[in-house]
Structure 1
Amino acid sequence: MIIRSDEYEDIPVPGSAPMRLHLFRPAVPGRFPGVLLFSEIYQLTGPIRRLAAMVAGQGYCVGVPEVYHEYEAPGTVLRYDQAGTDRGNALKFTKPVAAFDADAMSALAFLQQHPACSGRLATMGLCLGGHLAYRAALNPAVAAAACFYATDIHSGTLGAGKADDSLARMGELKAETLFVWGRQDPHIPFAGREAIRARLEEVGARYEWHEVNAAHAFLRDEGPRYDPALFLQAMGGMLALFQRTLNAPG
């Protein structure tokens, strides 16, 4: 399916600077389920743009927010180098968790009301974005979430003060959720993955769980850790989840 990938909106966020939301959607008339895609710490890089385009081409209206809009000028993309990594990680622990949550609420509301969106919603994300996709899915309007190597959930260290409540709030999760992890990822060790899964079981969450032999960022199609075969496997699982939950009646 041919898509449009040249649109963005600067949407209001209460108590904050406007947030730029980049839109990727089918270039045909119609209304499509909405997917809020949260990036890594680098914002809308080439790999994230290509990922959003791929999802949109399957028949979804995809929004990608600039997660550090309070701290960086609109359109800023951090590089995949040491300086970009240091800046992205510093901002991850500077921005309050409540501000991440406010961004998600505003982005979901905008996407749901967009003329190209059917009103059905899902979230997805990688790394920092995997954690943000999970938190956004605590919103009851979200039917499904795909969280790829989500950092900091197990340690409770997202945001200013490094004291998030993501595990504590897991009982609020109503969305059907897909978690995908790399077993060789040093950012989410075995004990951390086990803590997250134990909590999912404790609250009776509806979830899928996949651990693959890969390092962190194995879905990023730049750099030495990219695994194209596992990319296709992960995307197939996510798209099956979205097809089942977003295209179903009701």
Structure 2
Amino acid sequence: MPIETVQIPTTDGRADAFAAFPDQGERHPGVLMYADGFGIRPVLREMARELAGHGYYVLVPNVFYRHGPAPVIELPEHIGAEARPALFARLMPMIEAHTTERVLSDADAYLAFLTARPEVAAGPVAVTGYCIGGLLAMRTAAAHPGQVAAVAGFHGPVGADGPESLRLLLSTLTAEVHLGHAETDLTPEALGELDQALDAAGVDHTSEIYPGTAHGFTMSDTDAFNPSALRRHWDRLLPLLDRTLSRS
């Protein structure tokens, strides 16, 4: 499965990124994938390759490109609990500097780049994200109704900005949504409130707590990794993409 390093022009410079796609000389539906807060690293390349193997062109941008190319900080091979405080002390200023304005400006650039690739088929695209990337995915989909047909977020803080911000976010969303929450991130009561907001906005969605999971359950290089939950993630994501993205 080829992986290509690319540079995406943005209003603030150039975002480094990589793309994974089938090596068949054909055009494939496009998927924009947002990394978790730790950013681009081998596990993201593995996940992009896995998704590309199912017939998609997968673009993974370095959302912290304003602070340097990926990896923006040095990461251990395994991100254990003992390493997290020091890592987040360095990452949080970058996350906080990534304002909604920057998110939306970058999303415009990412989608323009993705849809212009010769390997990408015409038609709508999908967006998926992990951790903070789940929120970025939702914001991207809401800002591009009609162009984004599906959005999926896993262990992401989708409602972190409060009920009113969530209502505004969902008000323009036309994509079909799947949200997979960590058991340690969301109570059943909070899940019910989120589902009510999705229902009230008329969003076609599935939203569920993955049993026995901690925040970061999809990432095999962290202590939170849960193999069965990762399989569940693929079992939800792949059918979502299959029914929403055209292969013509």
Whether TM exceeds 0.5 here: the answer is yes
The secondary structure found in structure 2 opposite 1:123 is: strand
> Which segments of 5 or more consecutive residues in structure 2 lack a partner in the other structure?
none
The secondary structure found in structure 2 opposite 1:10 is: strand
Kindly provide the amino acid, as one letter, of the partner of residue 161 in structure 2. Answer: G
The alpha-carbon distance between structure 1 residues 207 and 228, as it changes in their structure 2 partners (threshold 3 A), is same
Of the three residues 149, 154, 165, the one matched with 1:148 is 154
The alpha-carbon distance between structure 1 residues 248 and 31, as it changes in their structure 2 partners (threshold 3 A), is closer
The secondary structure found in structure 2 opposite 1:64 is: strand
CA distance in 1: counterparts of 2:100 and 2:175, whole angstroms? 20
The secondary structure found in structure 1 opposite 2:21 is: strand
Q: Is 1:50 aligned to 2:13, yes or no?
A: no
Kindly provide the amino acid, as one letter, of the partner of residue 8 in structure 1. Answer: T
Aligned alpha-carbon RMSD (Å): 1.9
Contact conserved, 2:64 with 2:72, CA < 8 A, in 1?
A: no
2:86 match: 83
2:102 match: 99
Percent sequence identity over matched residues? 26
The alpha-carbon distance between structure 1 residues 76 and 110, as it changes in their structure 2 partners (threshold 3 A), is same
Of the three residues 137, 140, 165, the one matched with 2:141 is 137
Q: Per residue, is there more helix in 1 or in 2? A: 2
Contact conserved, 2:155 with 2:217, CA < 8 A, in 1?
A: no
Q: Is 1:40 aligned to 2:5, yes or no?
A: no
2:20 match: 24
1:8 match: 5
1:178 match: 178
Query: Alpha-carbon deviation of 1:155?
Result: 2.6
The alpha-carbon distance between structure 1 residues 63 and 145, as it changes in their structure 2 partners (threshold 3 A), is same
Q: Deviations over 1:49-89 (max 9, x none)?
A: 11111101111000001011112x22324423333222222
Kindly provide the amino acid, as one letter, of the partner of residue 195 in structure 1. Answer: E
2:65 match: 69
> Which segments of 5 or more consecutive residues in structure 1 lack a partner in the other structure?
158-163
Q: Deviations over 1:6-52 (max 9, x none)?
A: x12212112x1211121111111100000000001111022111111
Q: TM-score, normalised by structure 2?
A: 0.88
CA distance in 2: counterparts of 1:192 and 1:106, whole angstroms? 33
